[in-house]
Amino acid sequence: MQRQTESQVLLLFGWTDLHETGQHSGKLFEYLEAARPMLAVGGSPGVQTDMLNETGAGTHAFSKEEVRDFLVNAYHEFKTQGFVSYRGEPTSIAKYTHWQMARRIAEVLDLVSGKSQPASDTAVAPSASWNGAPQFQPERASYPRPEQISLWTSHRRLASIL
């Protein structure tokens, strides 16, 4: 994780397997936490592209020209400023923390089970850290009750369900 936060740009590979359509790479969530610009290459437009566009955390390039343009711009920015700016939107990124996704699945499970009591919006209290990434603050959080979460799954599958 330290190397990721020290990097100027993070490279993310897209998937081309049709069975993986609608799946998020676990690396995408790590990179969001690192709060560094992402360049995604390969694959086809999908959930990864949508997430990068929604959060402003990076670009999904589909051609050699788009990759070249991104890298030339990043290099120019690095040469003139000494770093490549991160443009991720903390409010949008906060929706993809493990705690927020657990809260959302708990709401879905409550709805399906007929308990229809939405979990508190304070399940994750994002705040800006030194690098602008949302950070979990346990002292301000209210945790989901055990009966709210009866399904544990990888964040990749969870994100595709929600």
> Token pair of 92, please?
């949008």
The C-alpha atoms of residue 145 and residue 103 are separated, in whole angstroms, by 10
Per-residue pLDDT of the chain (162 residues; tens, 9 = 90+): 888 887 899 998 887 766 666 667 778 888 888 899 999 998 888 888 999 999 999 999 999 999 999 999 999 999 999 999 999 999 999 888 888 888 888 888 888 888 765 545 544 444 444 444 445 444 444 544 444 443 433 444 444 444
pLDDT, one tens digit per residue, over 34-79 is 899 999 998 888 888 999 999 999 999 999 999 999 999 999 999 9
CA–CA separation, 55 and 36 (whole Å): 12
Cβ–Cβ under 8 Å, residues 5 and 131 = yes
